[in-house]
Structure 1
Amino acid sequence: MKMDIAKNLINLGAVKFSPNDPFKYASGLRGPIYCDNRIILSHVEFRDQVIQAFIDVIKQNNLSFDHLGGIATAGIPHAAFIADRMKRSMVYVRPKAKEHGRKNQVEGAFNAGEKVLLFEDLVNQGASLEEAMGGLQGAELKCDACLCVVDYEMQGAKDRLSNLSIQLFSLTDFTSLTLAAFELNLIDQKGMDLLKEWHADPKAWSMRL
């Protein structure tokens, strides 16, 4: 499944590689890969494949939950599509609480002590997931798992997941994406090596440019 999802993401233009002319990220750092999973929403056939893949992961791993939870903003559509398909309750989690109205960070109808299964589109360093977990804890909700389309398999995210006691399930990952790009002749061995160097220490790699 992971290679199939990876190749579809690449073919649809959701994932791009540029080892020789790195992308600039919102953090200010640079890197040789860029992922925009929002493109999935515009491609109905692949979107259905992604939704079904998520549902398969839920069933195969016997993941229990009271609500599906989308992490704002990119995780919300996936949670919504799956909640509709499975006929289950859904909430969503903001990066921080609103400063007006009820000042909610978690939106939806729920009771303290209930369990949320989180959805994210991309897990890089895990910062947005950590923020979402803080919001759930503030609302007295439980969570022990998150599903995402792409996991960059970064050590920083692994450390955060361990500290949060969260299990992450991804439809594809950095390893599969780079291998798929190599098989599709989008990068050569030199490009593969460069991607691995970046992945080992993104900050140090970016600072050398």
Structure 2
Amino acid sequence: MVTKTTDQMKALALKLYEINAFKFGDFKMKVGINSPVYFDLRVIVSYPDVMQTVSDLLVSHIKELELSSKHVCGVPYTALPLATIVSVQQHTPMLVRRKEAKAYGTKKLIEGIYQAGDTCLIVEDVVTSGSSILETVRDLQSEGIVVTDAVVVVDREQGGVANIAKHGVRMHSLFTLSFLLNTLHEEGRIERSTVDAVAKYIAAVQINSDGSFIGGDKTVAPNEFSRTKLTYESRANLAKSPLAKRLFNLMVAKQTNLCVAADLTKADAILDVADKCGPYICLLKTHVDIVEDFSENFVVNLQELAKRHNFLLLEDRKFADIGNTVSLQYGQGLYKIANWADLVTAHTLPGRSIVQGLKAALTGDNATKERGVFLLAEMSASGNLIDDKYKETSNKIATEGGDVDYVAGIVCQSASCFAFPGLIQLTPGVKINEGVDKLGQQYQTPEHVVKERGADIGVVGRGILEAASVEKAAVTYRDRLWAAYLERVAK
């Protein structure tokens, strides 16, 4: 670890967390088991200031350790940009290792000008078992190049240092996983329980360089960060969206994960449902464009009820246009949705511009308001055209890039749709009597959507709106959804 730049190191650790270069959840690893923490330093190429800081610290680390070599070589592919900057700053020639030899031309694995006996310093981003570094060492040594040291950004502390040392190579890291976790805890970004849970996993899962586990096979690792196993309190602490954090805490305070879909056409009818169901819900979902007598007074009254009963307003607009149009639809026009709706829904069909367009509407008086979006990744209608690729891309938009602070959650039908526990799963189509209506809407019971499909919030419409007593129905759904959640996290 670098000892002279602690403040700079801590600032960088926080920045890496903010840009989602590392995250918590339930992630499938190369060695075949799931991990509660995942590093993706590829994202730093989109943040030149972060790239510069990491490179500067690597160069300082190299100088502090007095590591000298004739060449530097980045482990393909994430470390290549870092190695390039180190090469330029150090005025040290660079070698490039291919993952596979070309089938044409020179068919080289190592590109660059070198001679047998030259020394080379390896640069790597993240080390788990050290296998990627050792593959690079092997290919360099096959060309007669001498490797004695490697510098890395993050050591996950799962056996990499010892594995690499067995092959005569010393590994020097900027960060250890322990340092990153403790920094986040000290700065109030994660709870002590998060630090302890990851430490427990790391201690239990030590890996040999061949991918086997030290101490025998570990088909099941102690990963306590599966999204559906965590409590809402714990997940609130991991949320990147302030509104997701607020909603998690509201759910805990009121002990409800019920959203009522007030899909009604008269303003007074919606207000009546909001008043009767308000004490038992965390969200009220509207379709404002079907309200026949919409007025500013309706919005004022709806906001007053939300404040009185402590629930949030979700306008189920399902935005799907280009960024500029979406920005106008959200902030302007008759409904001025950005003025009053805490949350909205949006399709990811236009790509990342859908989120950027929504954020662009938050100007003037709305600039300081907490707002967020649920991105639509799956639908409850039978025969919908959403496929796995669409779901995967929606997940990336929600969890990667500079707009993750605006994404509160995902609208979906399955627990496997996303892993990040800081997002909220909103699942429509909840009804005590399962079935399919004449227009293809599929319904599932409260217990099924929460325990089997991973819902954090169940959306109930006709099951409450068509009941003899709206209030009693809301209580019933609230109780069953919450009980299902408690059973889920108790397992």
TM-score (norm 2): 0.40
Distance 1:178 1:114 in 2: 38
Instruction: Please say if residues 68 and 79 of structure 1, whose CA atoms lie closer than 8 Å, have aligned partners that are also in contact.
Output: yes
SS at match of 2:72: strand
- Alignment correspondent of 2:22: 15
SS at match of 2:146: coil
Distance 1:148 1:98 in 2: 27
SS at match of 1:135: helix
Superposition RMSD on alpha carbons, in Å? 2.0
Specify which of 136, 158, 161 is matched with residue 164 of structure 2: 161
Amino acid at match of 1:130: L
Greater shift in the superposed pair: 112-121 or 178-187: 178-187
> Do residues 46 (structure 1) and 50 (structure 2) align?
yes
Distance 1:67 1:186 in 2: 39
Q: Offset of 1:164 from its aligned partner? A: 1.4
1:188–1:69 CA distance, 2 compared to 1 (3 A): same
SS at match of 2:73: strand
Specify which of 176, 180, 194 is matched with residue 177 of structure 1: 180
> Do residues 85 (structure 1) and 124 (structure 2) align?
no
Instruction: Please say if residues 71 and 132 of structure 1, whose CA atoms lie closer than 8 Å, have aligned partners that are also in contact.
Output: yes
Q: Offset of 1:85 from its aligned partner? A: 2.2
Instruction: Please say if residues 100 and 109 of structure 2, whose CA atoms lie closer than 8 Å, have aligned partners that are also in contact.
Output: yes
Distance 1:89 1:82 in 2: 10
> Do residues 141 (structure 1) and 145 (structure 2) align?
yes
1:31–1:206 CA distance, 2 compared to 1 (3 A): farther
Q: Percent identity?
A: 26
Amino acid at match of 2:16: L
Instruction: Please say if residues 161 and 171 of structure 2, whose CA atoms lie closer than 8 Å, have aligned partners that are also in contact.
Output: no
Q: Offset of 1:75 from its aligned partner? A: 1.5
Which stretches in structure 2 are left out of the alignment for 5+ residues?
1-5, 206-212, 224-491
Q: Which has the larger radius of gyration?
A: 2
> Do residues 55 (structure 1) and 59 (structure 2) align?
yes
- Alignment correspondent of 2:106: 102
Which stretches in structure 1 are left out of the alignment for 5+ residues?
none
Distance 1:159 1:169 in 2: 12
Deviations 1:123-174 (A, max 9, x none): 111010111110011010001111111111212x123222112111212111
- Alignment correspondent of 2:247: none
- Alignment correspondent of 1:121: 125
Instruction: Please say if residues 117 and 146 of structure 2, whose CA atoms lie closer than 8 Å, have aligned partners that are also in contact.
Output: yes
1:142–1:193 CA distance, 2 compared to 1 (3 A): same
Distance 1:69 1:128 in 2: 12
Distance 2:202 2:126 in 1: 15
Distance 1:13 1:208 in 2: 23
Instruction: Please say if residues 51 and 82 of structure 2, whose CA atoms lie closer than 8 Å, have aligned partners that are also in contact.
Output: no
Q: Offset of 1:96 from its aligned partner? A: 4.5
